[in-house]
Amino acid sequence: MDGVVQNNHSLYLDPIVGTVASFLLKKVGSLVGKRILSELRNLIFPSGSTNLMQDILRETEKFLNQRLNTDTLARVNAELTGLQANVEEFNRQVDNFLNPNRNAVPLSITSSVNTMQQLFLNRLPQFQMQGYQLLLLPLFAQAANLHLSFIRDVILNADEWGISAATVRTYRDYLKNYTRDYSNYCINTYQSAFKGLNTRLHDMLEFRTYMFLNVFEYVSIWSLFKYQSLLVSSGANLYASGSGPQHTQSFTSQDWPFLYSLFQVNSNYVLNGFSGARLSNTFPNIVGLPGSTTTHALLAARVNYSGGISSGDIGASPFNQNFNCSTFLPPLLTPFVRSWLDSGSDREGVATVTDWQTGSFETTLGLRSGAFTARGNSNYFPDYFIRNISGVPLVVRNEDLRRPLHYNEIRNIASPSGTPGGARAYMVSVHNRKNNIHAVHQNGAMIHLAPNDYTGFTISPIHATQVNNQTRTFISEKFGNQGDALRFEQNNTTARYTLRGNGNSYNLYLRVSFIRNCTIRVTISGRVYTGTNVNTTTNNDGVNDNRARSSAINIGHVVASSKCVVPLDINVTLNSGTQFDLMNIMLVPTNLPP
C-alpha cells in the first residue's frame, strides 16, 4: 500500500468530522435529548440533503487515490438517498405518535420501530462492498452511527413510545450485537490496510489520523451508548507532523509499535515545552529585495514537562542547547512548534499568530519560525488540545525499532552513527480531547478533575500518576475504547491515579481484558474493593480490539471525596504470566446503571 496518501486533501471535513463525534459525546454525557436519531439526522443530512456524505466520499477517494466505478457510485448514492428517506419517515412517524392529530394513532409505535430496524439491516451492507471496504469505511461509520443511535432511542424512549419489555430486551441485545459487529468490521478493515503501509512518517500519521477522525471516533463511542450522564474525558490521541518527516526513512506497520510507544510514552505528564539545538544560516535575499533571510534546521530536541521531567534526546545526542520554548513563558525568537500546524515557514520574517491549545493553559504565541511546515489546514483538529510533543531522527536505529518504550521510559533516540545528514530531528505533536485537568502533581503528572454536578466521568488508564514495575508496563493501542490501554506484564502491578473529588457516590467500572483469572484491588478514600476471578475469555463484549476482548467489571460503590485530592490505586494480581489490559476507568452515577 505504498503512497496511499495523497497531498490534495483535508483531514478535517468541515463540518461533519468532529461535529458528529462531539454531538454523540455530549449526548452520552447528558440526561436530556433522548431522541438522538432526530438530531443526528440533521447533522448528517442537513435539509434532507446527502451532499455532506458525498463530500466525505469524494475526499476519501482523493485521500486513498481510489475511485468507485460509475455503477458502484450510483448504487452508493441511491443507498444514501434511501437511508436519508427512511430516517426522515421514521422520525415523522414518531412525531405523529407523540403529537397525535385527528388521524388515528396506534397504541404503540412498535411496528414502525421493527420496520426501521429491518431497513437498516438491508442498507448497511451496501457500504461494505467487496473491493471498496476501506474507501467506503467513513460512510459505513456514519450509517452505523444512525443505526446504533436508533437502537439507543428505542431503549431510552420505550415507556413513552409504549414498547413492551420483551421488545426492549430484544433491542438491548441488538445494541450489544451490532456494536460488536460494526466495531469488529471497522477495526479489521483498518488493520488490514495499515499492515500494507510502507511510507514516510508524515503519510503514515495522516492515514491513521484520517481514519481516526472519520471512523474510530465513532467506534470508540458506540460501546458507551449503554451509559447515560457520563462525561467522557478519555480518548484516542491524534499525531500530526509538518512536511519535515517527508524526509525521514520509510516505515512499515512492523515499526509502528515502536513509533507509537515513542509518541505515547509520557502521556501522563503535563507538557511544559521543549528545548533543542538548531542550525541557522543567513543569506542575502534575491536580487531586488533588500536585507537577508535566516533559515533554521532542527538538529535535536528534548521535551520538558512540569515537575522537572524531560524526555530523552531526539536527534543528535548529546547536543548543545541553543533555544527553548515554554508554554508558560513567551517563546524565544525561533520556537519550533506550531499548535494547529496550519501555516508557517522555517524562514524568519514570516509572522504567524496562532493558539497553542493546551487546556490547562491556553496561550497566544507569536511564532516567527518553526520545525513544522504543514500543508494547508490539514492538521486542525476541533476540540483537541496538544498534550504532548515527540519526534523522530532522520533514521531510527534498528535496535530501537524492535524495542518499544516501556511506560515513562527515558531513552535517547538518534540516527545510527555516520548517517548522512543524520543530525536532524522532526517533531510530532500529540493531540487529544482531555480537558479536565485540575492541577499538576508534584511529579509532573496530571490530576484529574471530577465534574461539579452529579455527572459520571472517565479516566484514561494511561494518565496515571505513577506505576510500579514500569519496565514491564506498556501502553497498548486500542480502537474501540475511548483511548488506549495500560498493559501490565508483571504480577502485583499497581497504577495510581489522582483526582479532585466532588463528594458524589459512583459505581466504579473497570474495563479490562485478561484471558486467565486475576484479582483486582482498588483503594480509594481509605476503602479497599476487591474483584476476584476476573476473566474475560468468554465474558466479554465480543469486540476484538487489537487482540484484547474486554468487559466492564463493576468494582463497587465508591465516593469521590469532596473538594480534596484523592488517590485511586488499582492493583492487579495475575494468577498466571498472561498480560492484563486496563482499558478504561469509569465512574458511573449510581442511579443510572448501564
| Residue 73, in any domain of the structure | yes
Regarding whether 331 and 201 lie in a shared domain, the answer is no
Regarding whether 443 and 427 lie in a shared domain, the answer is no
Mean per-residue pLDDT, 528-546 = 93
Regarding whether 203 and 69 lie in a shared domain, the answer is yes
Regarding whether 475 and 378 lie in a shared domain, the answer is no
Q: Write the DSSP string, 184-213.
A: HHHHHHHHHHHTT-EEEHHHHHHHHHHHII
Given this model, what pLDDT does residue 104 score? 59
Domain-terminating residue out of 202, 225, 248? 225
Mean per-residue pLDDT, 550-578 = 91
- CA distances (Å), 210 to each of 13, 50, 450, 527, in order? 10, 21, 31, 44
334 pLDDT above the threshold of 90: no
Inter-helix orientation angle 133-156/70-98, to 10°: 10
Domain-terminating residue out of 411, 432, 453? 432
- CA distances (Å), 486 to each of 232, 418, 568, in order? 18, 37, 15
Of the two residues 34 and 506, the one the predictor is more confident about is 506
Q: Identify the domain containing residue 519 by its residue range.
A: 437-589
174 pLDDT above the threshold of 70: yes
| Residue 12, in any domain of the structure | no
Domain-terminating residue out of 179, 197, 225? 225
| Residue 147, in any domain of the structure | yes
Of the two residues 454 and 409, the one the predictor is more confident about is 409
Regarding whether 342 and 405 lie in a shared domain, the answer is yes
**Model pTM score:** 0.90
Regarding whether 326 and 265 lie in a shared domain, the answer is yes
Least trusted range by pLDDT, from 11-15, 66-70, 368-372, 431-435: 368-372
Per mean pLDDT, which of 13-17, 202-206, 212-216, 580-584 is the most reliable?
Answer: 580-584
Give pairs for 157-161: CB < 8 Å, separation 24+: 157/34, 157/35, 160/98, 161/94, 161/97, 161/108, 161/109, 161/110, 161/113
The CA distance from 171 to 114, in Å, is 10
Regarding whether 394 and 272 lie in a shared domain, the answer is yes
Q: For 85-111, what is each residue's pLDDT tens digit? A: 999 999 999 988 888 775 655 557 999
The percentage of the chain sitting over the pLDDT mark of 90, rounded to a whole number, equals 55
Residues in the chain, total: 594
Regarding whether 49 and 114 lie in a shared domain, the answer is yes
Q: How many CA atoms lie within 13 A of 303 on its CB side?
A: 33
Q: What is the number of H-type helices and E-type strands within the chain?
A: 12, 26
Q: For 462-506, what is each residue's pLDDT tens digit? A: 999 999 999 999 999 999 988 999 999 999 999 999 999 999 999
Given this model, what pLDDT does residue 142 score? 95
Given this model, what pLDDT does residue 107 score? 58
Q: Which residues pair with 573 in a beta bridge?
A: 519
Comparing CA positions, the residue from 37, 268, 231 lying closest to residue 153 is 37
* pLDDT band with cut points at 50, 70 and 90 for residue 576: confident
What is the domain-level CATH number for residue 141? Answer: 1.20.190.10
Of the two residues 211 and 293, the one the predictor is more confident about is 211
The CA distance from 199 to 189, in Å, is 19
How crowded is residue 549: how many other Cβ atoms within 10 Å of its Cβ? 18
The CA distance from 71 to 335, in Å, is 52
* Residue 25: φ, ψ to 5°: -65, -40
| Residue 132, in any domain of the structure | yes
Given this model, what pLDDT does residue 344 score? 28
| Residue 9, in any domain of the structure | no
Q: Report yes or no: 580 and 514 within 8 Å, Cβ to Cβ.
A: yes
Q: Give how many domains the chain has, as a whole number.
A: 3
Regarding whether 251 and 210 lie in a shared domain, the answer is no
Q: Which helix (H) or strand (E) holds 56?
A: helix 51-64
374 pLDDT above the threshold of 50: no
Q: For 296-322, what is each residue's pLDDT tens digit? A: 677 888 999 988 999 999 988 889 988
| Residue 14, in any domain of the structure | no
* pLDDT band with cut points at 50, 70 and 90 for residue 355: very low
Mean per-residue pLDDT, 550-571 = 94
Regarding whether 329 and 288 lie in a shared domain, the answer is yes
What is the domain-level CATH number for residue 464? Answer: 2.60.120.260
* pLDDT band with cut points at 50, 70 and 90 for residue 357: very low
Regarding whether 471 and 502 lie in a shared domain, the answer is yes
| Residue 5, in any domain of the structure | no
| Residue 231, in any domain of the structure | no
Q: Report yes or no: 554 and 473 within 8 Å, Cβ to Cβ.
A: no
Q: For 400-451, what is each residue's pLDDT tens digit? A: 999 999 999 999 999 998 888 768 888 888 888 888 888 899 999 999 999 9
Please list, in sequence order, all residues whose beta carbon lies within 8 angstroms of the beta carbon of residue 457, skipping any fewer than 6 positions away: 230, 231, 232, 233, 436, 448, 450, 451, 586, 587
What is the domain-level CATH number for residue 338? Answer: 2.100.10.10
- Kindly tell me the burial class for residue 173, based on how many C-beta atoms sit within 10 Å of its own C-beta (0-12, 13-18, 19 or more): exposed
Regarding whether 194 and 60 lie in a shared domain, the answer is yes
**Is the dihedral angle over the CA atoms 588, 591, 592, 593 positive or is it negative?**
positive
